[in-house]
Amino acid sequence: AQTVTQSQPEMSVQEAETVTLSCTYDTSESDYYLFWYKQPPSRQMILVIRQEAYKQQNATENRFSVNFQKAAKSFSLKISDSQLGDAAMYFCAYRSGHTGKLIFGQGTTLQVKP
Amino acid sequence: NAGVTQTPKFQVLKTGQSMTLQCAQDMNHEYMSWYRQDPGMGLRLIHYSVGAGITDQGEVPNGYNVSRSTTEDFPLRLLSAAPSQTSVYFCASSYSEGYSSGNTIYFGEGSWLTVV
Q: What is the mean pLDDT of residues A9-37?
A: 96
d(CA B92, CA B105): 7
Residues B49-68 pLDDT 10s: 999 999 999 999 999 999 99
Question: So what's the pLDDT on residue B107?
Answer: 94
Q: Are strands B31-38 and B87-94 parallel, antiparallel or unpaired?
A: antiparallel
Report the Cα A23 to chain-centroid distance in Å: 7
Contact A88, A38 (CB under 8 A): yes
B97 vs A97: CA distance, rounded Å: 9
User: What is the C-alpha separation between B76 and B95, in angstroms, rounded?
Assistant: 20
Sign of torsion over alpha carbons B76, B80, B85, B87: positive
Work out the average pLDDT over B35-56: 93
For residue B46, which of B27, B29, B65, B26 has the smallest C-alpha distance?
B65
Query: For B110, which residue in chain A has the nearest alpha carbon?
Result: A43
pLDDT band at A78 (very low <50, low <70, confident <90, very high): very high
Residue type, B44: R
Residue B19 scores a pLDDT above 60: yes
Would you call A6 an interface residue with chain B, using a CB distance cutoff of 8 Å? yes
Give pLDDT tens digits for B105-116.
Answer: 899 999 999 999
Name which residue leads in pLDDT, A56 or B97. A56
Q: Is B57 within 8 Å of chain A by CB?
A: no
- Is B69 at the interface with chain A, CB within 8 A? no
Q: Taking all residues of chain A, what is their mean pLDDT, rounded to a whole number?
A: 94
